[in-house]
């Protein structure tokens, strides 16, 4: 009998360990791992918040003039009239007026094309053609002025034709395209 009581107590403690203590110990270990993940996530959140605040401070340090220049260079919406007026303003500095303006229509009727550039996101493209009459030298200066303007403009085509009875003047049919970032 004396031998039986310690054996029963040992078996009872092994059974208690297997049915209650070990599962609770495993649960505590799982919770500790989960707590560690939460602490890491919280630390990452604090790091991201600090990064966001740094970016916000950098953005706030940009002057209003620079923001306007960025908006002109890569607008968030397409404004065909503003684009035509900008190009005409550059042309008028050279004594020219743009004529025969044609918005290039793509598959959609607005003349706006969206391009997906893999990881870089979406941006829109709009193109138009116009004609100017001027001398070759003046036209070269006009193209240089377009290149120096704030708006991103790609010249896609130039057609030169003679004007009868004019010695130094030519008709230049120019195709350009510009870009914009749609807001999400």
Domain ranges (residues) in the chain: 1-61, 70-180
Please give the C-alpha separations between residue 36 and each of 22, 26, 31, 68, 71, in angstroms, as whole numbers: 21, 15, 8, 46, 45
The verdict on pTM exceeding 0.75 is no
What are the tens digits of pLDDT across the range 38-58? 999 999 999 999 999 999 999
Min mean pLDDT across 11-20, 67-76, 93-102 is at 67-76
What are the tens digits of pLDDT across the range 95-137? 888 888 887 745 343 444 444 443 445 777 888 899 999 999 9
Strands 112-117 and 121-135: antiparallel
Q: What is the pLDDT of residue 77?
A: 65
CATH architecture of 70-180: 2-Layer Sandwich (3.30)
**Three-state secondary structure readout of the chain:** CCCHHHHHHHHHHHHHHHHHHHHHHHHHHHHHHHHHHHHHHHHHHHHHHHHHHHHHHHHHCCCHHHHHHHHHHCCCCCCHHHHHHHHHHHHHCCCCCCEEEEECCCCCCCCEEEEEEHHHEEEEEEEEEEEEEEEHHHHHHHHHHHHHCCCCEEEEEEEEEECCCCCCEEEEEEEEEEEECCCC
């Amino acid at each position: 009998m004396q031998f039986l009581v310690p054996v029963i107590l040992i078996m009872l403690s092994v059974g208690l360990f297997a049915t209650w203590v070990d599962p609770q110990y495993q649960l505590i270990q799982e919770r500790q791992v989960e707590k560690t993940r939460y602490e890491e996530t919280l630390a990452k959140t604090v790091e991201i918040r600090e990064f966001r605040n740094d970016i916000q401070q950098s953005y706030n340090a940009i002057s209003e003039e620079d923001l306007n220049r960025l908006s002109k260079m890569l607008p968030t919406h397409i404004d065909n009239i503003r684009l035509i007026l900008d190009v005409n303003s550059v042309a008028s500095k050279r004594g020219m007026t743009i004529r025969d303006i044609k918005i290039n229509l793509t598959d959609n009727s607005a003349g706006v094309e969206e391009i997906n550039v893999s990881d870089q996101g979406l941006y829109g493209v709009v193109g138009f053609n116009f004609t100017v009459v001027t001398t070759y030298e003046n036209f070269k200066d006009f193209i240089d002025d377009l290149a120096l303007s704030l708006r991103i403009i790609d010249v896609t085509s130039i057609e030169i034709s003679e004007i009868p009875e004019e010695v130094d003047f030519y008709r230049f049919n120019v195709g350009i395209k510009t870009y914009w970032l749609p807001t999400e």
